Amino acid sequence: MAFAGRHPMLSLALAGLTVAIIYTEIMRLLRGYKAIKPAELALVANQPGAVVVDMSAIADFEKGHIAGSRNIIPSQFDPAGKLLAGAKQSPVVLVCRNGMASATAARKLKKAGFEQVHWLDGGIAAWQAAGLPLVKGR
C-alpha cells in the first residue's frame, strides 16, 4: 500500500497490465481452437479423418511440407470449400510458415462451425526446429 501511495502511476500501470493479461488468457481459453506443438500435431494428424492444411505459398509448399498435408493459399482459403466440406467433426490442423496465417484461418474455421480446429504454433519453422522431416514436391 505504501508503494501504491507513493507511485500511483506505476500502480495504475501494473493494475492495467494485470487486467490485460487476465483478459488475454481468458479469451485464449474461450476461442475454441487450440495452438499445438509439433509433437502434438503428429498425434492429431493420425486420428481418423484428420486433415492437415498447409497455407504456404505454392513455391514454399513445394520446397518442404508436412507429409500428408494439402496446400491451400490464404487468398483461396474457404471453410466451405471441397477440401474441408466433410471435416466439420474431424480434426483439422492448419499450418503455415510461421503460424500467423494458420491462426487467422483457425478463427474462420471455428466461426464456420468446425469442432476440432488446431493450428501449429510457430508453423513449419517450429516443425523444423523440432527436427521433424519435411517432404519436397507436390
Contact status, residue 90 vs residue 63, Cβ threshold 8 Å = no
pLDDT in tens, the chain (138 residues): 788 888 989 989 999 999 998 887 776 666 677 889 998 998 888 888 899 999 999 999 999 999 989 999 888 888 888 888 888 888 999 999 887 888 888 888 888 889 889 989 889 999 999 999 999 987
Global pTM value: 0.75
Map grid coordinates 484428420 to a residue.
Answer: 50
Helix (H, G, I), strand (E, B) or coil at 114: coil
pLDDT one-digit tens code per residue, 44-83: 888 888 999 999 999 999 999 999 899 998 888 888 888 8
CATH classification for the domain delimited by 33-129, as one of 3.40.50.970, 3.40.50.620, 3.30.420.40, 3.40.250.10: 3.40.250.10
What sections of 2-111 are H helices per DSSP? 2-6, 8-30, 38-45, 58-63, 100-111
| CB 109, CB 32: distance < 8 Å | no
pLDDT at residue 130 in the model? 92
Domain ranges of the chain: 1-30, 33-129
d(CA 86, CA 133): 28
- Identity at 27, one-letter amino acid code: M
